[in-house]
Structure 1
Amino acid sequence: MHSRIGVFLSPVHETGQDPHLAIRRNLDLVEQLDDLNFDEAWFGEHHSLGWGLVGAPETMIAAASQRTRQIKLANGVVPLSGHHPFHVASRAVHLDHLSRGRYILGVGPGVPFDAGMFGLEPPVQRTRLAEALPTVLELVNGTERVTDKTDWYELHDAKLQLPRFSPAGIEVAMATSGTSTASPRLAGQYGLSMCSFALPFALMTPGAPQHIDLGRQWEHAVAAAQEHGNTMDRSAWRIALPVHVAETREQAYADVREGYDRWLFDYFGRAAGREVLSPGVPRESMLEARVEAGGALVGSPDDVVAGLQAMQERTGGFGTLLVYVADWTSWEKTDRSMQLLARYVAPRFTGTTARPVEAVDWAITARGGRP
């Protein structure tokens, strides 16, 4: 039974704690989520700013594949601008085997903070993504040998020796964020699934939109798909944003307020050098402003269900919520939030509460309405 909820682990962890334990925590969490029937776990790749410690997500996916039974595991994402396409494809096929078909290859251009260390500018990242993508797709899911030459990689009659584990092919997903149309159009051009970030990195900065128009991202993908004879499937569309659930709205905000402040001002403000204050919004109200803007869901199970319903209406419908695990609170409170999501939010999202409720109503009606 699918929950239609997964997690996106950048993963970020506040500095000042043991990095080894932080890394182990991510694997422990995914193992718990597998038991809670979460559908997916995505691992990001980061090489700078101190908070994002995972620079080799494939190793995390390989380890998680041996600890779990049903949850799908994904790169979130492989920055194709920084990897040779043949190595990307080879690792993907190996992970397809290790996970017994539970692997998703997420791709994107890469984050600008990391790219600076490799001498890459954002336009070059996007160009390399477009250049490498068809090569990766053929190596992973095709049958032909690939000959390709660019100014940064070269292949001559290349083909993987190891066949895929998944006969129908490995799912490939394109990451999209911000207002750029390039990534959604690539998703449509090649018929890929899509993972969109709803204001993932906070920042209601001066002049920034109150909502990232996810519906427009989908429209660009659909338009490109039609141009190239493909179709886009809304059920394969993921939307990622921070989520925290507690028994009450007041408790949920109390759980995450201090951690959110440090994440916003220490990580994005001090480490990344971004302007994070918004005109007219006092610092103590930044969390509420973010939630109101649709960049996070914080509250009781009912609050989160209402937020998901609003997002479904705003986007026109999507398939899976990816909880961006921002490490805003203790591991224990994060675990409790995940339990509440699994027990009380996911069933409302999927409609699986309907039959037990209908059974009660039927029993009452069958005995003439008597209690």
Structure 2
Amino acid sequence: MVQQRVGEQLRFGVFLVSGRFPGQDDTAVLRRTVHAAIAAEAAGFDDVWLAEHHFMPYGVCPSAITLAAHVLGRTSRIDVGTAVSVLSTTHPVALAEQWSMLDAISDGRLRLGVGRGGPWQDLEVFGTGLSRYETGFAESLDLLLTAAAGRVSAEGSHFSFREVPLRPTPQRTPRVVVACGGPASSAVRLAAERELPLLLGLHADDFEKAETVAAYGAPAEHVSTVLCQVGDDAREVVRGALPGWLADGLAAHVPVDDRPGPGRDPWEYTEKLCAIHPVGPVSHCVETLRTSLRRTGVSHVIMFVEASGTPEGTMANIARIGAEVLPALREG
């Protein structure tokens, strides 16, 4: 069992998917996300992370870096991260430019979460093709990191161009985390080789996350994603809202070729999430999170807080976590 490293500072954030639950409007969902980010700062969270998806109700934010720019402008203290910017459909040098600009004007509050993405129709629409997804992640990640150091050129399988300077000139090294699917994921090895921490997914329980951290093989400031819903009726709230959203969202994942789409049963997945994450009364959430911190050794946790499916429920959940859960965790 992995033990949390003594003296390591705890960090807690919110993870906002911008999920469109049945019957909702895209614009209202995005406004809910912005209001939730502002509420997270007021509630004492350390950071807020924004998801990115295309062509589906699972998440209606198509550009996490763009939404991050807006949230940075609406906040003053909290860090803002992308979770994730998809390197299979985004030009890594363009992303580095955006990071450098936002890093400069936010005094370093922007974090970059990056990932490979999936084999979805996005690859066809944006013209990057299946090969970028299957073989291009390492090359894209290295270009992003090189560009963020100030100058970049390329002579690879997917990118080839003469050296150019990045403008604005980067003032800092980007704080990058790499999304991974589990201990056997090639992203774990890739991140470890580049000494970049991992972003551990919502689907994994504590034991899988601990195995992934062990596979990484070195101390690092990894980030763990959980679902957190506080309340005596929290499980009923999640069971009432989440399956409908998942059913619509999973069905909207259209593969770029003839491979099958996601096969998860929305109701079974909801039950799994309720079982492995802090969903319940305050005392249960505190103990579940304490146990997760101890088992995984990961001291930075970001919380999916939108499982009620409503703006009011999301704001109330953020407020209760900030007022009742975070203080108990930080006191030890």
Residue 81 of structure 1: SS of its match in structure 2? coil
Equivalent-residue separation in structure 2 for 1:299 and 1:121 (angstroms): 43
Label 1:38 to 1:126 Cα distance change in 2 as closer, same or farther (>3 A): farther
Is the CA contact (8 Å cut-off) linking 1:47 and 1:54 kept in structure 2? yes
The residue that corresponds to 1:232 in the other structure is: 219
Higher relative contact order (CA 8 A, sep 6+): 2
Residue 104 of structure 1: SS of its match in structure 2? strand
Equivalent-residue separation in structure 1 for 2:54 and 2:15 (angstroms): 17
Equivalent-residue separation in structure 2 for 1:18 and 1:119 (angstroms): 28
The residue that corresponds to 1:221 in the other structure is: 216
The residue that corresponds to 1:199 in the other structure is: 203
Is the CA contact (8 Å cut-off) linking 1:100 and 1:165 kept in structure 2? no
The structural deviation recorded for 1:9 is 1.7
Equivalent-residue separation in structure 2 for 1:18 and 1:333 (angstroms): 17
Select the residue among 321, 324, 330 that pairs with 1:341: 321
The residue that corresponds to 2:162 in the other structure is: 156
Residue 228 of structure 2: SS of its match in structure 1? strand
Q: Deviations over 1:143-177 (max 9, x none)?
A: 5x3321234322211221312244xx221111112
The residue that corresponds to 1:261 in the other structure is: 243
Is the CA contact (8 Å cut-off) linking 2:293 and 2:299 kept in structure 1? no
| Alignment partner of 1:307 is 2:315 | no
Instruction: Give matches, 1:75-224, under 5 Å.
Output: 75-113=82-120, 114-115=122-123, 117-118=125-126, 124-140=132-148, 142-143=149-150, 145-166=151-172, 169-199=173-203, 213-222=208-217
Select the residue among 306, 311, 324 that pairs with 1:331: 311
Q: Deviations over 1:33-87 (max 9, x none)?
A: 1111111111122112233111122221111111111110111111112122210
Is the CA contact (8 Å cut-off) linking 2:180 and 2:187 kept in structure 1? yes
The residue that corresponds to 1:27 in the other structure is: 34
The structural deviation recorded for 1:15 is 4.4
Equivalent-residue separation in structure 2 for 1:43 and 1:286 (angstroms): 22
Equivalent-residue separation in structure 2 for 1:298 and 1:98 (angstroms): 37
Label 1:274 to 1:110 Cα distance change in 2 as closer, same or farther (>3 A): closer
The structural deviation recorded for 1:271 is 3.2
The structural deviation recorded for 1:327 is 4.0
Equivalent-residue separation in structure 2 for 1:198 and 1:327 (angstroms): 13
Which amino acid is the alignment partner of residue 312 of structure 2?
E
Is the CA contact (8 Å cut-off) linking 2:306 and 2:314 kept in structure 1? no
The residue that corresponds to 1:320 in the other structure is: 300
The structural deviation recorded for 1:314 is 2.8
The residue that corresponds to 2:274 in the other structure is: 291
The structural deviation recorded for 1:121 is 7.2
Is the CA contact (8 Å cut-off) linking 1:71 and 1:102 kept in structure 2? yes
Equivalent-residue separation in structure 1 for 2:124 and 2:206 (angstroms): 28
Which amino acid is the alignment partner of residue 135 of structure 1?
L
| Alignment partner of 1:244 is 2:229 | yes
Q: What's the TM-score once normalised by structure 1's chain length?
A: 0.77
| Cα-Cα RMSD | 2.5
Is the CA contact (8 Å cut-off) linking 2:278 and 2:286 kept in structure 1? no
What is the count of residue pairs matched by the alignment?
316
Which amino acid is the alignment partner of residue 304 of structure 2?
Y
**Identity over aligned residues, as a percent?**
25
Residue 162 of structure 2: SS of its match in structure 1? strand
Equivalent-residue separation in structure 2 for 1:217 and 1:116 (angstroms): 31
Which segment is superposed worse, 15-24 or 63-72?
15-24
The structural deviation recorded for 1:111 is 2.7
Which amino acid is the alignment partner of residue 320 of structure 2?
L
Unaligned 5+ segments in structure 1 are: 201-209, 223-230, 353-371
The structural deviation recorded for 1:211 is 6.8
Q: What's the TM-score once normalised by structure 2's chain length?
A: 0.86
